[in-house]
Amino acid sequence: MFSHAFRNALNPLINFGVAQVIYLMGIIVMLDTVFSFRGVGLTLVNAVRNEDTNFIMIVPMLTGITISLCMLAADIMIALIDPRVRYGKG
């Protein structure tokens, strides 16, 4: 039962894990600002205050790239784990 149920149970766990990583990326901005940690969140808030448009545009772009890479990694892991999911063969 473990070998049959485990593979089917991994699909939602992988998707949930990726969603949690994306959620934590959003929380970083708030935690950096509230607790004054020197991180991307506090730097982003200071850039908004100083009207540094280049940095303000780069952070969402890097966040989007990171989210896309996380989703791609999740899709690849699901394709490797679940034999029913295959990409590219019609």
Residues 72 and 50: their CA atoms lie apart, in Å, by: 35
Q: What pLDDT shows up at residue 81?
A: 81
**What digits encode the pLDDT tens for the residues 8-54?**
788 888 889 999 988 888 888 788 888 888 888 888 888 999 999 99
Alpha carbon 13 to chain centroid distance? 14
| pLDDT band at residue 68 under the 50/70/90 scheme | very high
Q: What pLDDT shows up at residue 1?
A: 66
Q: Which of 90, 66, 88 is nearest to 79 (CA)?
A: 88
> To which residue do tokens 């970083």 refer?
28
Answer for the pair 62, 3: CB distance below 8 angstroms, yes or no.
Answer: no
Residues 62 and 74: their CA atoms lie apart, in Å, by: 18
